[in-house]
Amino acid sequence: MYIDVLREIVLRNIYSVAGKNLLDDDKLRKYDKTNVHSILQYCLLKVDELGLLGIPEFKIKPGKPIDKHAIIEDYKGKNRYQRTIRVDVAYLKDSKVVGFGEVVTPDEIHGVPTPKKPKLQWIAPSHKIEHLAKEIKPEFIILLQVTIKHPSWEDAKLYTLDEWEEHWINFMRKTCEDNKVKCLHIIMRSVKNIESYTW
């Protein structure tokens, strides 16, 4: 119901903040020092015309918690279950969460399971997306991703940027189709090179 209009709105918001000199390719490359995550979070938030209330840093408590033993490689911590999941943006209608959005900057590009790394070492964005898709059955999910560079993490160097994009696209497509959730996946390679996918 919302996904095509959301695509138009979010892209318009991105171009708007870029036009105000809040985003450019240099800022995207220096994402950790230039508030890129917060700016893109704003681009997801500003959807008032749909009658949705976007709330940042929203905590969701699904019926079933995330089991860290099942998803994290060699997990030895004491707190096995994560019962509350914080999303970058939650979309509410009549106080009910109908969708959520996540911003993934380059430092989390390796936060998706792959053939070379089927289990990760932390609760990554892909874990949150997959778990909430299954447990709360939202109407839609948005992933806004920046893939302009590799971060310094060794695991991130296992694949090229194009290959990471492909892993994320495959993950989002499968998660959305398996759970019958509408999804919008926006990939920012630069301010002028933005591609989007919907399922």
Q: What is the pLDDT of residues 61-115, one digit of tens each?
A: 999 999 998 888 777 777 899 999 999 999 999 999 999 999 999 999 999 999 9
The pTM for the full model equals 0.95
Ranges of the chain with pLDDT below 70: 1
Integer angstrom CA distances of residue 41 from 34, 77, 102, 119, 188: 13, 31, 8, 27, 14
Range of the structural domain that residue 192 is part of: 3-198
Q: How many CB atoms lie within 10 A of CB 62?
A: 16
Q: What does the pLDDT read at residue 1?
A: 66
CA distance 89 to 32: 19
State percent of the chain over pLDDT 70: 99
pLDDT for 69 equals 86
Q: In the chain, what is the greatest distance between 2 CA atoms, to the nearest angstrom?
A: 47
Provide the domain count of the chain.
1
DSSP three-state, residue 45:
helix
